[in-house]
C-alpha cells in the first residue's frame, strides 16, 4: 500500500470532525467520516461561539466567508448583578480590533450545514453509520458500524463528543495494561446543568450585544445575533457533585418544569426569562461535564474535541478548541507523511506523532479549561470570593477581560501548510504567551487584588446582606409607574433606582439599630453581633449615602445634588421626630404624625420623582400625589404590623409595640380615650410578651382604631385615585400607579383570605 493511501477514519461528524475532514482534504490525506445521525446538521437548539482563534482556521479552509453571512459581531457585553447593579464592557469590540476577527455566535446547526455543504465529496461523509466496535490491528484499526459495514484505516480519530465510543475503546485497551486508572475514568465531573436555546427577536435585546445576568447559583446569558435572533443559555449550580456517567439526564418535561420555576426572573431591563422561553424556536437541557483528560490516545486511536476536553459554554471556546485540535493533528500527519523515502508510518512513528499531538495540545487546552472552570463559577457567584469579585472588582477591571481573552486567543493553532488569513491584527503577536504561566509578581498582584476586594466587601457587606433579602420594593414599583409619564432613558432610570434603593436600605440599617430590632424581612438584622455588629453597620449606612452622592455625578445635572441633599435632610428630620416621641413617650397629634411621614417615608418617594423630573420634559407638579402615596404606604405599614401574620414572620410579632412606636393606630387609640393610660403604659414597657401585646391590640380594637385606619386609608386612596385620574386627562393613562394603589388596599380582617 502506498503512503498516499494512508487512511484516517473520523468517528463523529461533529464540528471538530468535519473541520478535520476539511483540513485533511487540504493536506491531501485520505479520510472518511462516520456519523451516526441520518442528518449532517440536526437541530438541538444549540448555538456555537466562533472566536478569532477558531475563525482563523476556518478562514484558511475558505469557510469563513460563508459563516460571516450568518453572524453579527458582538460589540458590547452587559453584566447584571442580583442587587440591580449592572455595568458594561466593550471587550468584544476590543477583541475584534486586536485580531481582525470578531466574537460571534450562530446556530450550531447552521455551522454543521456549512461544513457539510462546503465539503466537495459527500461520499466521504457517511451518515447513519453508528460505530459499534473498534478493533486495533498490527498496522491500523478496523471500525464496524451498526449496518455491518467494516472500515479499515491507519488511524481512528474520535470526534464523537463527551459520550465517545472511541474514548471507551482507548480506556478498555489501556486498562488491559494498567495504563489508565479508575481515577481518570471517573475524572469527568458535573456540578452544573444548562438549558440552552434559540429564540426569535425580543424587543429590548439589541443586536450585537451580550447580556450576562449573574445570580446566586444561576447565570442567564443571552447573545443577540443576526436579525435579532437570541442565543441563550441558563446555567444552574446543582445541589451535589456528580461523576460521569452517573449524573442526571433530563427530559423535555424536566426542562419545562425548570423553565416555569425561572419564568419571572428578570435578567435585563425588565425582560423576564419567561419572555425568552415563550419566544423560543428550540431548546434542550443537559448537565455540563467538565475536565481535560490525561489519556488522549492509545495504539492507533486518538481523541479530539469534547471527547477528551469538556468545558462549559461560558468561555465560548469549546468548538474553537476542537477546530484547533483538527489543525494541529493535520499539521503533524502531513509532516510525517511527507518524509522522503518512507512507506506507511510504523506503529512507533504513529505513537510518536500522537505523543507530540497530546503534548502540543494538552497545556493549552488545560489552561483554557481552567479559565472556563473559573468563569462558570464566577458567573454563578459560587462561593464568597466569586460574589466579591463580581460586585467589587469586575465592574472596575477596565480592559482586563479583553486582555485575558486575548491571551487565550493569541496562542491558537493554525494550519501551518496553508497561507495565513489576510485579515489580522497586532494582537496575535502582542498577546502570545507561548504557554508561559503567571510568574510570582502576577500571583502577588492577584493576592493584593483579592485583599483589596475583601476590604471593599467588608465596607458595604451589611448593605449587600440586606439587598440579598427581597423586600416589598414599593419604591421600585413607584419609579417604574411614574416613568410611564416621565419616560426617562434606561441609563438615567437605573441611576434613580440605585440611589433610592441605597438610601432606603441604609435608612433601614440605621432604623433597626435605633429600634433595637431583631428581625428584618424574616432574617436576623445586619447589626446583630453574629453578623456585622453595630459599628460596621452604621459605617456601611453612612458609606451608602456618600456613595450615591458620588453616583449622581453620572446624572449630568447639578440640580440632582440639591434634591438629594433635601431628601437626606427630610429623612433625618422625620426620623428625629419619630425617635423623640418614642424615647420621651410623647404622643403626637395626627397632624404631627402626617408631617413626620411626609418627611420620612414620603421623602424618598419625593426624591425618586424629583430626580426623574430633572431628566424629563414633563413639568407637572406631582408632589400632592406623592405625599398621598407616602401616607397610604406608611399608615398601611403601621396597620399591617399589628394585624398581619405575614408581618409577624417578616419583622416580628407586633414589633412596633416592642419598639414603643407611636404608630397611626396607637396615636388614634390614645387620643380616643386620653384619660386611659393603659396603652401608654404598655408602650413604656417595650414588652416582648405576646399576651401583653395582644391586650394592647384588643384595646385598640375597642377604641375603633383599626377601623379608623381602614377608613383613613380608604379616604386617602380615593383622593389618590382622583388625583391620578386628573393627571391622566393630560398625561395619558398610568396603569402602574393604579396597580400600586390596588396593592396597598387593605381589607377588614373578616374579608381577608385565610390562605
Q: Mind listing the pLDDT tens digit for each residue in 5-22?
A: 899 999 999 999 999 999
Q: Residue 1: what pLDDT?
A: 38
CA distances (Å), origin 421, targets 54, 57, 115, 271: 12, 8, 18, 40
Overall average pLDDT of the 29-57 stretch: 92
Quickly state the pLDDT bin for 41 (edges 50, 70, 90): confident
Q: Provide the phi-psi class of 647: left if phi over 0, else alpha when psi is between -120 and 50, else beta.
A: alpha
**What is the C-alpha end-to-end distance of the chain, expressed in Å?**
82
Quickly state the pLDDT bin for 90 (edges 50, 70, 90): very high
At residue 3, does pLDDT exceed 60?
Answer: no
At residue 531, does pLDDT exceed 80?
Answer: no
Please, which residues bridge with residue 144 across strands? 133, 150
Residues 693, 678: Cα–Cα separation, whole Å: 12
Q: Residue 435: what pLDDT?
A: 61
Helix (H, G, I), strand (E, B) or coil at 32: strand
DSSP letters along 134-151, please?
A: EEE-SSSEEEEETT--EE
Topology adopted by domain 3-430: FAD/NAD(P)-binding domain (3.50.50)
Report which of 103, 320, 322 is spatially closest to residue 231, judged by C-alpha positions: 103
Quickly state the pLDDT bin for 217 (edges 50, 70, 90): very high
Burial 370-401 (b: 16+ CB within 10 A, else e): ebbbebbbbbbbbeeebbbbbbbbbeebeeeb
Give the DSSP H or E segment for 574: helix 559-584
CA distances (Å), origin 459, targets 178, 253, 465, 523, 535: 55, 45, 12, 21, 11
Q: Residue 752: what pLDDT?
A: 36
Lowest mean pLDDT among 111-120, 226-235, 598-607: 598-607
List strand residue ranges (DSSP E) for 269-387, in order.
Answer: 271-272, 280-292, 297-298, 301-303, 309-310
CATH level 2 (architecture), domain 460-751: Orthogonal Bundle (1.10)
Q: Residue 285: what pLDDT?
A: 95
Return the higher-pLDDT residue of 342 and 678: 678
Overall average pLDDT of the 588-605 stretch: 92
Portions of the chain given CATH number 1.10.600.10 = 460-751
At residue 750, does pLDDT exceed 50?
Answer: no
Q: Residue 306: what pLDDT?
A: 96
- What is the 8-class DSSP label of residue 588? P
Overall average pLDDT of the 470-492 stretch: 88
HEC readout, 268-296 = ECCEEHHHHHHCEEEEEEEEEEEEECCCC
Angle formed by the axes of helices 490-514 and 440-467, nearest 10°: 70
Q: Residue 453: what pLDDT?
A: 59
At residue 125, does pLDDT exceed 80?
Answer: yes
Handedness of CA 515, 520, 522, 527 (dihedral sign): negative
Q: Provide the phi-psi class of 102: left if phi over 0, else alpha when psi is between -120 and 50, else beta.
A: beta
The share of the chain scoring above pLDDT 90, in percent, equals 70
Quickly state the pLDDT bin for 46 (edges 50, 70, 90): confident
Model confidence, pTM: 0.65
Lowest mean pLDDT among 411-415, 546-550, 619-623, 745-749: 745-749
- Percentage helix, strand, coil, to 5, in the chain? 55, 15, 30
Portions of the chain given CATH number 3.50.50.60 = 3-430
Per the prediction, the chain carries an average pLDDT of 89
Give 504's contacts (C-beta < 8 A, 6+ positions apart): 475, 604
Overall average pLDDT of the 29-45 stretch: 90
Tens digit of each residue's pLDDT (9 = 90 or more) over 649-707: 444 568 889 889 999 999 999 999 999 999 999 999 988 888 898 999 999 999 999 99
DSSP letters along 645-697, please?
A: HHHHHHH-TTHHHHHT---HHHHHHHHHSTT--HHHHHHHHT---HHHHHHHH
CA distances (Å), origin 388, targets 382, 459, 502, 552, 586: 10, 12, 18, 24, 45
Residues 34, 166: Cα–Cα separation, whole Å: 12
Q: Provide the phi-psi class of 465: left if phi over 0, else alpha when psi is between -120 and 50, else beta.
A: alpha
At residue 282, does pLDDT exceed 60?
Answer: yes
Q: Are 116 and 529 in contact (CB under 8 A)?
A: no
Report which of 510, 521, 744 is spatially closest to residue 635, judged by C-alpha positions: 744
Q: Residue 751: what pLDDT?
A: 39
Residues 274, 520: Cα–Cα separation, whole Å: 30
Please, which residues bridge with residue 7 across strands? 30
Quickly state the pLDDT bin for 439 (edges 50, 70, 90): very low
Q: Residue 291: what pLDDT?
A: 94
Overall average pLDDT of the 246-261 stretch: 94
Residue 322 in grid coordinates: 476542537
Residues 46, 489: Cα–Cα separation, whole Å: 34
List strand residue ranges (DSSP E) for 669-718, in order.
Answer: none
At residue 502, does pLDDT exceed 60?
Answer: yes
- Greatest Cα pair distance in the chain: 117
- What is the 8-class DSSP label of residue 246? B
Tens digit of each residue's pLDDT (9 = 90 or more) over 463-480: 888 888 877 788 888 999
Neighbours of 188 (CB within 10 A): 19
Task: Outline where 27-154 has alpha helix (H).
Answer: 52-60, 64-68, 91-99, 108-117
Overall average pLDDT of the 86-114 stretch: 93
CA distances (Å), origin 89, targets 286, 298, 395, 440: 29, 44, 9, 28
Q: Residue 461: what pLDDT?
A: 84
Neighbours of 150 (CB within 10 A): 11
Helix (H, G, I), strand (E, B) or coil at 309: strand
Quickly state the pLDDT bin for 455 (edges 50, 70, 90): low
Amino acid at each position: 500500500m502506498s503512503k498516499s493511501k494512508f487512511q484516517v477514519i473520523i468517528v463523529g461528524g461533529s464540528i471538530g470532525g468535519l473541520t478535520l475532514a476539511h483540513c485533511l482534504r487540504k493536506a491531501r490525506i485520505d479520510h472518511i467520516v462516520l456519523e451516526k445521525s441520518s442528518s449532517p446538521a440536526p437541530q438541538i437548539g444549540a448555538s456555537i461561539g466562533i472566536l478569532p482563534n477558531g475563525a482563523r482556521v476556518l478562514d484558511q479552509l475558505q469557510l469563513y466567508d460563508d459563516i460571516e453571512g450568518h453572524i453579527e459581531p458582538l460589540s458590547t457585553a452587559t453584566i447584571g448583578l442580583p442587587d440591580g447593579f449592572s455595568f458594561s464592557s466593550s471587550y468584544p469590540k476590543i477583541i475584534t480590533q486586536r485580531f481582525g476577527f470578531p466574537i460571534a455566535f450562530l446556530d450550531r446547526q447552521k455551522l454543521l450545514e456549512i461544513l457539510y455543504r462546503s465539503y466537495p465529496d459527500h461520499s466521504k461523509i457517511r451518515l447513519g453509520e453508528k460505530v459499534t466496535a473498534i478493533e486495533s490491528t498490527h498496522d491500523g484499526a478496523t471500525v464496524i458500524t451498526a449496518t455491518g459495514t467494516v472500515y479499515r484505516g491507519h488511524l481512528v480519530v474520535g470526534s464523537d463528543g463527551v459520550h465517545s465510543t472511541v474514548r471507551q475503546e482507548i480506556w478498555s485497551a489501556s486498562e488491559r495494561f494498567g495504563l489508565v486508572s479508575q481515577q481518570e475514568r471517573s475524572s469527568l465531573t458535573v456540578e452544573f446543568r444548562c438549558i440552552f436555546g434559540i429564540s426569535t427577536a425580543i424587543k429590548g435585546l439589541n443586536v450585537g450585544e451580550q447580556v450576562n445576568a449573574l445570580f446566586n447559583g444561576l447565570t442567564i446569558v443571552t447573545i443577540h445575533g443576526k436579525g435579532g435572533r437570541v442565543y441563550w443559555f441558563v446555567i444552574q449550580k446543582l445541589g451535589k457533585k456528580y461523576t460521569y456517567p452517573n449524573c442526571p439526564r433530563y427530559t423535555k418535561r424536566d426542562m419545562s418544569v425548570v423553565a416555569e420555576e425561572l419564568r419571572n426572573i428578570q435578567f435585563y431591563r425588565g425582560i423576564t426569562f419567561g419572555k425568552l422561553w415563550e419566544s423560543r424556536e428550540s431548546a434542550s437541557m443537559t448537565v455540563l461535564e467538565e475536565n481535560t483528560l490525561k489519556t488522549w490516545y492509545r495504539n492507533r486511536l486518538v481523541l479530539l474535541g469534547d471527547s477528551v476536553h469538556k468545558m462549559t459554554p461560558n468561555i465560548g471556546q469549546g468548538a474553537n478548541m476542537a477546530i484547533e485540535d483538527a489543525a494541529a493533528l493535520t499539521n503533524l500527519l502531513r509532516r510525517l507523511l511527507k518524509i522522503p523515502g518512507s512507506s506507511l508510518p510504523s506503529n512507533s512513528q504513529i505513537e510518536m506523532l500522537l505523543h507530540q499531538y497530546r503534548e502540543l495540545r494538552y497545556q493549552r487546552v488545560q489552561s483554557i479549561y481552567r479559565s472556563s472552570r473559573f468563569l462558570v463559577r464566577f458567573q454563578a457567584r459560587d462561593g464568597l470570593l466569586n460574589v466579591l469579585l463580581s460586585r467589587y472588582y469586575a465592574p472596575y477591571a477596565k480592559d482586563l477581560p479583553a486582555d485575558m481573552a486575548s491571551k487565550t486567543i493569541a496562542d491558537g493553532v493554525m494550519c501551518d501548510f496553508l497561507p495565513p488569513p489576510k485579515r489580522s491584527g497586532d494582537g496575535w503577536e502582542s498577546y502570545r504567551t507561548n504557554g508561559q504561566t503567571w510568574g510570582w509578581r502576577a500571583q502577588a498582584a492577584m493576592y493584593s487584588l483579592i485583599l483589596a476586594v475583601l476590604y471593599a466587601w467588608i465596607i458595604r457587606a451589611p448593605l449587600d446582606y440586606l439587598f440579598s433579602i427581597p423586600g416589598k420594593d414599593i419604591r421600585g414599583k413607584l419609579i417604574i409607574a411614574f416613568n410611564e409619564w416621565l419616560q426617562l432613558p434606561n441609563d438615567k432610570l437605573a441611576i434613580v433606582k440605585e440611589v433610592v434603593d441605597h438610601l432606603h436600605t441604609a435608612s433601614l440599617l440605621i432604623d433597626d439599630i435605633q429600634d433595637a430590632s431583631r428581625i428584618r424581612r424574616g432574617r436576623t438584622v445586619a447589626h446583630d453581633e453574629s453578623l456585622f455588629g453595630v459599628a460596621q453597620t452604621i459605617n456601611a449606612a453612612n458609606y451608602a449615602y456618600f456613595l450615591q452622592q458620588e453616583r449622581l455625578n453620572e446624572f449630568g445635572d447639578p440640580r440632582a445634588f440639591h434634591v438629594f441633599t433635601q431628601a437626606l435632610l427630610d429623612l433625618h428630620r422625620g426620623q428625629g421626630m419619630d425617635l423623640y416621641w418614642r424615647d420621651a413617650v410623647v404622643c403626637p397629634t395626627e397632624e404631627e404624625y402626617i408631617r413626620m411621614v411626609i418627611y420620612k417615608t414620603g421623602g424618598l418617594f419625593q426624591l425618586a420623582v424629583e430626580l426623574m423630573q430633572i431628566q424629563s420634559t414633563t413639568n407637572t407638579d406631582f408632589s400632592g400625589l406623592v405625599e398621598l402615596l407616602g401616607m397610604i404606604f406608611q399608615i398601611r405599614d403601621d396597620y399591617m404590623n399589628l394585624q398581619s401574620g405575614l408581618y409577624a414572620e417578616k419583622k416580628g410579632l407586633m414589633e412596633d409595640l416592642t419598639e414603643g412606636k407611636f404608630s397611626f393606630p396607637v396615636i388614634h387609640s390614645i387620643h380616643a380615650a386620653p384619660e386611659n393610660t393603659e396603652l401608654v403604659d404598655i408602650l413604656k414597657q417595650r414588652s416582648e410578651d405576646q399576651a401583653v401585646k395582644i391586650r394592647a391590640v384588643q384595646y385598640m380594637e375597642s377604641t375603633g382604631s383599626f377601623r379608623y385606619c381602614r377608613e383613613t386609608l380608604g379616604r386617602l386612596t380615593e383622593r389618590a385615585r382622583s388625583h391620578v385620574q386628573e393627571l391622566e386627562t393630560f398625561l395619558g393613562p398610568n396603569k402602574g400607579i393604579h396597580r400600586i394603589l390596588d396593592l396597598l388596599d387593605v381589607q377588614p380582617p373578616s374579608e381577608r383570605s385565610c390562605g
